[in-house]
Chain A
Amino acid sequence: MTDLVEVRPGVYHDSVTLMRVSQALTARPEVAVAVVAMGTDLNAGLARDLGFEVPPTTPGDLLVAIRAATSADLGEAAAELERQLATTGSGGGKARDEAPPRTVRSAARSWEATVALVSVPGEHAFAEALDAVEAGLSVMIFSDNVPVEQEILLKDRARARGVLVMGPDCGTAVVGGAGLGFANVLRPGPVGVVAASGTGAQQVTCLLDIAGVGVSHVLGVGGRDLSAEVGGRSAVQALRALDEDPATELIVLVSKPPAPEAARAVRDLGLATPVVAALLGPGEDDLTAVAEKALRALGRDVPEWPCWPAGEAPAREGRRPLRGLYSGGTLCAEAALIAGADTATEAGFVDFGDDAYTRGRAHPMIDPSLRREALRGVASGVVLLDVVLGHGADPDPSSWLAPEVRDAVARGVDVVVALVGADGDPQGLRAQAARLNEAGAAVFTSNAAAARHARRLADG
């Protein structure tokens, strides 16, 4: 085995891109292990743990560490690395006459935009988002770990400027048909959504789309917006903006139960447009019920939500453990509530999208490795998982999940999948469902229905 360790000062790529490069390298047969990452203490430590001799690095350096059988293999891997790095971040390889802008401020000065999408690491998001607001642009902040006082300041400045701050930690938005972040391919239609929960909004809008009802806009506000501290600053603005929007006939508000102050702020707006609220929590409607309520409010029929039951399973004896392995926090909470409502004994629900699991790695909607490990560890009982489709998500989740489902079913585990997607999604909603179903999973487009089904299976 030989090692290649390189530190390239001043070369920057985002973490998702580098993770893909590392994966592509590690996937090569001649490569034992590869770390291509920015030189943070965490990443340098990771490489040292793998036995690489890493010189001192700073977060502004690109760290490359590759281990291969022979030096010839190493040379090939290094060449592949260059190919991989050369094809990223070039905007499809098109050469530009002028150097690309280095800040949102500079981009906004030279190009007419309507919105900015910020996904730099959280400690740096404030500057870019503030640039957008000062340039009179609304901004979606996908980044998490942005201090709350920065959030409040951004939202106050935005209100003064007549623009909207979506986020921080805003996973999804659809603006004028364009999906920002993790978003589904939804048809245009009469429903406007204000969401403090990304996957919650995705569930509701996907069900509406399946029912043939589209959205005008989906405006995320960030998970903290309806807290006591932030007080619903963006939710209030988003609700007012949708109320003004002639294309929006009905507004759906998706949030965890808001703090009383925030609830008051959003309630006392006197909107002309009817609002259906999805306040996720005990005693509240689940997301599917909210979608149904919205359909009824529009005078539309509620369809049977598509599902693909698993084949006849052998009769199981008695109660069995139920595990929930989720990528979406809201979906996880909803499922835990439904599945555990009557017993509250199940502790087996894990949200792999939580900060504790995403530190130093990509979101589970992109990187399935932790969930795959967890699924492999389930020896018996019932497993409930979510699969979220759409822009930005795993381009073909069934390619890794279907074989795992097959193995799990062979072990005697019942697998239930909540498949959140729209018919237009690039992964193909029905194709994904069919492949997972063929592998032996029961597949539901409604997370609530999936959770109830899993509960029934577990109860025996």
Chain B
Amino acid sequence: MSVGTRQKGRRTAAPAPRPPAAPSYVSGAASVAVRPALESPRRPARVLAAFPLALYLEVRSECEPHVIAVVTGEGVRLPNAVLLGESLDGVSAGDDGWVGDGSIEIGGLSVGVRRWWDPAPALAPADPARLAAAPAVLAGIRAASPRRPGLDPAGAPALLERGCLRGSLVESITAAEQLIGLGPGLTPSGDDMLAGLLVALRHLGRAAGAPRAVWLADWLAAAVTFDARTRTTSISATLLHCAARGEASPEVLGVLRAAAGHQPPEPAVNRLLRLGHTSGADLAWGVQIGVSAVLSLLGTGAAGGPTGPARRERP
């Protein structure tokens, strides 16, 4: 998912050594997903990309998320985001920074966290009638919107949908393997689709009482995150790790709440569809497949298949 389309130019043609000025202290709100990275000892980091409303900071660390989005204004609250009240001037791709010991240092700013938010809030039990109608409702709103996903429905997406609806691990994982990193951009369409699917399976599976869907989410998540860092962009790999744990932006979570019958679907889906170039449409598509799969797996128990992989605890 990208948060802007226009990369900001570098301030200077030749990289000059930064004068060791005292940082200006600012504060913001962070996803608890990045709390481990922030509370670890200080590590070097690098700006992967800088847009007017967001920049992506890669931390040299094995733990996930290893990319932190620093977001300002109306920028998208990605699940790995730190929100700032101030603007993000003067930072360019390639700049060095630090993350850890409670703060983020970048471009003369030292960011402290004054609020923590949960990128994977629990979903209240789903209204069965609303949930049953949700795939058709989602499909209708998606069809009425000019926003289109970035991939052809035939091929891997079709295989993914079939596999999920049947609860077939082999088909789902085969399709997911093909989708990782598929498509252009910072967050390839295939990854966005998988992210939408993963959070929908996990949250709606739990909210609808479909353990088989949660089981499928666990296995798919394990497969998708296993070698994500080598298969797609760093930003996208981090967002897949987040999705694997059920973490998503408020736009995605709003559509899940709508599918569960807790808020009107039309505005929620349209808010999601507006994200990025195709990201919103890709995510919405993934969510729709997830909703359909949850419905189709309702009533089928977890028994019969292998037990899920060891669940990661949320920090």
Contact = CB atoms under 8 A, between A and B. Distances in A.
The answer to whether A and B interact is yes
Interface of A: 92, 176-179, 185-188, 214, 244-247, 391, 424, 426
B124 A244 contact: yes
A247 B122 contact: yes
Contacts of B114: 179, 185, 391, 424, 426
Contacts of A177: 29, 115-118
B35 interface: yes
A176 B113 contact: no
B110 to A, nearest CB: 13
A185 B113 contact: yes
29 contacts: A92-B85, A92-B86, A176-B117, A177-B117, A179-B114, A187-B32, A187-B35, A187-B116, A188-B116, A188-B117, A188-B118, A188-B121, A214-B32, A244-B124, A246-B121, A246-B122, A246-B123, A246-B124, A246-B125, A246-B207, A247-B118, A247-B121, A247-B122, A391-B114, A424-B114, A424-B116, A426-B27, A426-B112, A426-B114
A185 B118 CA distance: 13
A178 to B, nearest CB: 6
Interface string B93-129: 0000000000000000000111111100111110000
Nearest to B206: A246
A186 B122 contact: no
Nearest to B117: A177
A247 B117 CA distance: 12
Contacts of B116: 177, 185-188, 214, 424
Contacts of B123: 246
Contacts of B112: 426
A244 B32 CA distance: 23
Interface in B176-235: 207
Interface of B: 27, 29, 32, 35, 85-86, 112-118, 121-125, 207
10 smallest beta-carbon distances between A and B, as pairs: A188-B118, A246-B122, A177-B117, A246-B124, A247-B122, A187-B116, A177-B115, A247-B121, A188-B32, A185-B114
B102 to A, nearest CB: 9
A414 to B, nearest CB: 33
Contacts of A247: 118, 121-122
B258 to A, nearest CB: 15
Contacts of B115: 177-179, 185
A412 B122 CA distance: 54
A319 B285 CA distance: 74
Contacts of B118: 177, 188, 247
A431 to B, nearest CB: 11
A424 B122 contact: no
A424 B121 contact: no
Nearest to A249: B122
A424 B117 CA distance: 13
Contacts of A179: 114-115
Contacts of A391: 114
A244 B122 CA distance: 11
Contacts of B122: 246-247
A246 B246 CA distance: 15
B104 to A, nearest CB: 14
B83 to A, nearest CB: 11
Contact of A424 (B113, B124, B207): B113
Nearest to B315: A187
A91 B35 CA distance: 28
A12 to B, nearest CB: 25
A60 B142 CA distance: 55
A316 B153 CA distance: 83
B77 to A, nearest CB: 12
> Among the interface residues B27, B85, B113, B115, which one has the most CB atoms of the partner chain A within 10 A?
B115
Given A179-B115, A246-B207, A247-B118, 11 more contacts: A92-B86, A177-B116, A185-B113, A185-B116, A187-B35, A188-B32, A244-B124, A247-B121, A247-B122, A424-B116, A426-B114
A177 B32 CA distance: 11
Contacts of B124: 244-246
B55 to A, nearest CB: 21
B261 to A, nearest CB: 13
B19 to A, nearest CB: 25
A177 B31 CA distance: 10
Nearest to B118: A188
Nearest to B119: A188
B41 to A, nearest CB: 16
Query: Of residues A214, A245, A391, A424, which shows the largest number of chain B Cβ atoms within 10 Å of its Cβ?
Result: A424
A247 B123 CA distance: 8
Contacts of A214: 32, 116
A421 to B, nearest CB: 13
A247 B207 CA distance: 12
Nearest to A391: B114
Contacts of B207: 246
A137 B216 CA distance: 40
Contacts of A426: 27, 112, 114
Nearest to A390: B114
A25 B127 CA distance: 61
A244 B115 CA distance: 24
Q: Could you say which of A176, A185, A186, A245 has the most chain B C-beta atoms within 10 Å of its C-beta?
A: A185
